[in-house]
A and B are shown apart, each in its own frame.
Chain A
Amino acid sequence: GAGVSQSPSNKVTEKGKDVELRCDPISGHTALYWYRQSLGQGLEFLIYFQGNSAPDKSGLPSDRFSAERTGGSVSTLTIQRTQQEDSAVYLCASSFTKVETQYFGPGTRLLVL
């Protein structure tokens, strides 16, 4: 079956612009996660959705970051007023329930100039 998909694959933007990153989880997976991977910080958790609600937003680095999930499926991560330090690979993962195997998408490579 289809895995986790993310779009766009790559995004180059100018400092100060807003960007939206999309994640399509595996069908039937109730849990959805966003992580990011950067050279200096390794792999870090950003936010967790159970259905459409986000019980854990503890990893969002600032109020410029927000995310939503609709219909218990697709999720969008929005970064407002992007900064150069936001440059990273943003990874989405999903799992059937929160304690089961998390499957990762291919990521969105974001470069802020």
Chain B
Amino acid sequence: GIQVEQSPPDLILQEGANSTLRCNFSDSVNNLQWFHQNPWGQLINLFYIPSGTKQNGRLSATTVATERYSLLYISSSQTTDSGVYFCAVVTGANSKLTFGKGITLSVRP
């Protein structure tokens, strides 16, 4: 099956700093989503981005489908950005999301 690798596994930032989170995948995808899992465990949708670039406030994402990677950019980080960020993909005729292992982000005041 498809492999989804996220890097780095852990990231510690000072409030106000910028960061880039990476997701590599091993096959072509029909769907790619980025999620933020908050401290209560809720998976919050950030982006649906199988290709191209999107922006939402301080967050933006780019997926280069031909090179099989996606990047999530966080600018001017805040302590509320802390949590785990997941990349997940759907491939082929499947419908299920295959998740990466996540990136744990800690933003310090």
Interface positions of B (Cβ within 8 A of A): 30-31, 33, 35, 40-43, 45, 48, 86, 88, 90, 94-99, 101-102
Query: Pick the contact of A100 from B48, B88, B101 — CB < 8 Å?
Result: B48
Is there a chain B Cβ closer than 8 Å to A91's Cβ? yes
Q: Is the interface of A mostly helix, strand, loop or mixed?
A: strand
How many residue pairs between the two chains, A and B, have CB atoms under 8 Å in the bound complex?
A: 54
Evaluate contact between A107 and B102: CB separation under 8 angstroms: no
Evaluate contact between A98 and B99: CB separation under 8 angstroms: no
**Interface size of A by Cβ–Cβ distance < 8 Å?**
27
In whole angstroms, how far apart are the Cα atoms of A31 and B94 in the complex? 12
Evaluate contact between B42 and A107: CB separation under 8 angstroms: yes
Interface positions of A (Cβ within 8 A of B): 31, 33, 35, 37, 42-45, 48, 50, 55-56, 58-59, 89, 91, 93, 98-104, 106-107, 109
